[in-house]
Amino acid sequence: MNKKIRISAIFGVIVVLGLAACTKQEPPKPMISDTGRPETRSVEAANAVGYNGTAMRQKLDKALDANDAQTQKMDQAANQ
């Protein structure tokens, strides 16, 4: 009986090692660089209520960039 337990234990260890060797490890997820404006980060919280917060943030960033460009253009015109 002791021999059966020993064989079962060895077989169990082999199975566990075999399963461990066959499992694929997921590669680490790449860090997504934040390219948006810091003042619009809170807009992405709209994801929690079902909106596409990322798209909203990108549109808001574009609008703010266009506003900044227009303001700079007007300042340049005023300084001439």
Q: Find out whether 61 and 35 touch, Cβ atoms under 8 Å.
A: no
Q: Find out whether 43 and 57 touch, Cβ atoms under 8 Å.
A: yes
Question: CB atoms < 10 A from the CB of 56, how many?
Answer: 15
How far is CA 43 from each of CA 25, 32, 51, 74, rounded to the nearest angstrom? 34, 17, 10, 28
Residue-level pLDDT at 7: 77
* Distance separating the N- and C-terminal Cα atoms of the chain: 100
Mean local confidence (pLDDT), 34-48: 84
pLDDT surpasses 60 at 1: no
Mean local confidence (pLDDT), 31-60: 85
pLDDT tens digits, residue range 47-64?
A: 889 999 889 999 999 999
Residue-level pLDDT at 11: 75
